[in-house]
Amino acid sequence: MTIPEPDSTWRFETMHLGRRVCVYRQLDSTNSLALSLAENPAHDGLVLLAQSQTSGRGQYGRVWQAPPRSSVLLSVLLFPPPDLRRPALMTAWAAVSVCETIFESVEIPASIKWPNDVLVDGKKICGILIEQRTTGDAAFPLATVAGIGLNVAQTAAMFAEAGLPLAGSLASVGGKALRSDDVARTLIRRLDKNYCLLQNNGVGAVESAWQDRLGLLGKDVIAEEVNQAHVGRLVELAFSGLAVETTEGRRVRLMPESVRQLRSIT
């Protein structure tokens, strides 16, 4: 499939991602379009940005809604090397980049809520949806789409009216009027910088920023898998695995991808 004609195009002098950004007034979903372009590895690093979506998608089949121009709605299409293909790592990379973007935009620290939300003052201001598909290309067998919805301009009253009292935006938590295009530019640069770090320096820097923003290491937590939950002290938190020391003195090891929820119980 060829890239549909965008309403405008941005180009960044970045290393990997955002050298071409296709901006659309309206799409059904930036993730859906990115997935349909994923059979062509020449699109590696392509960013799709929409001012509004008619069928924005969230985790677990939920809808993602945002008034036109209120938010950054973007997807990045990547063909990562084997060691970077894990959804948990890609989610962490996107979440850390969003936290840095928030700090650069409104100078407020943000935290990561397991697995894929970014919060400020307890309000969800960003959701991340990582989707992958096989390509049929032997050299680039798996494409990854990182979809990011970052609320920028919605007011607290708008969230209350929409029945979303736990949602926030850069404007509602930061008290600063920002243009979503400017925030999108900052985010694209941060995503590129951190992707280059992952590729060239290994996962260490992104992993430790992710650990810090989760703020759960050493705390009493509940870690929920599909069929069971583990309660205890979180003694390890890494892409290679988590370890929970249970109250009965057992050490339970879990892969990040198998943990659906992880939260503090203190």
Q: CB of residue 70 vs ligand BTN: minimum separation in angstroms?
A: 12
CB of 131 or CB of 192, closer to ligand BTN: 131
Contact 94, 146 (CB under 8 A): yes
Q: CB of residue 36 vs ligand BTN: minimum separation in angstroms?
A: 12
Q: Which two tokens stand for residue 264?
A: 């503090």
Q: CB of residue 105 vs ligand BTN: minimum separation in angstroms?
A: 18
Residue of 97, 118, 120, 100 lying closest to 18 (CA atoms)? 97
Q: Which two tokens stand for residue 135?
A: 């390509």
Residue 126 phi, psi dihedral angles, 5° rounding: -150, 140
Q: CB of residue 71 vs ligand BTN: minimum separation in angstroms?
A: 7
Q: CB of residue 116 vs ligand BTN: minimum separation in angstroms?
A: 6
Q: Around Cβ 208, how many Cβ atoms within 10 Å?
A: 12
Q: CB of residue 164 vs ligand BTN: minimum separation in angstroms?
A: 12
* 180-201 and 204-214 helices, crossing angle to 10°: 130
CB of 66 or CB of 198, closer to ligand BTN: 66
CB of 98 or CB of 244, closer to ligand BTN: 98
CB of 148 or CB of 206, closer to ligand BTN: 148
CB of 127 or CB of 232, closer to ligand BTN: 127
CB of 117 or CB of 230, closer to ligand BTN: 117
Q: CB of residue 49 vs ligand BTN: minimum separation in angstroms?
A: 9
Burial 137-174 (b: 16+ CB within 10 A, else e): eeebeebbbbbbbbbbbbeeebbeeeeeeebbbbbbbb
CB of 148 or CB of 221, closer to ligand BTN: 148
The residue type at 209: A
Q: Which two tokens stand for residue 224?
A: 């929920």
Contact 97, 126 (CB under 8 A): no
Residues that bind ligand BTN (CB under 6 A): 29-31, 53, 56-59, 62, 64, 73-75, 116-117, 127-129, 147-149
**Cα–Cα distances in Å, from 97 out to 24, 117, 191, 213?**
23, 12, 5, 11
Strands 71-78 and 142-151: antiparallel
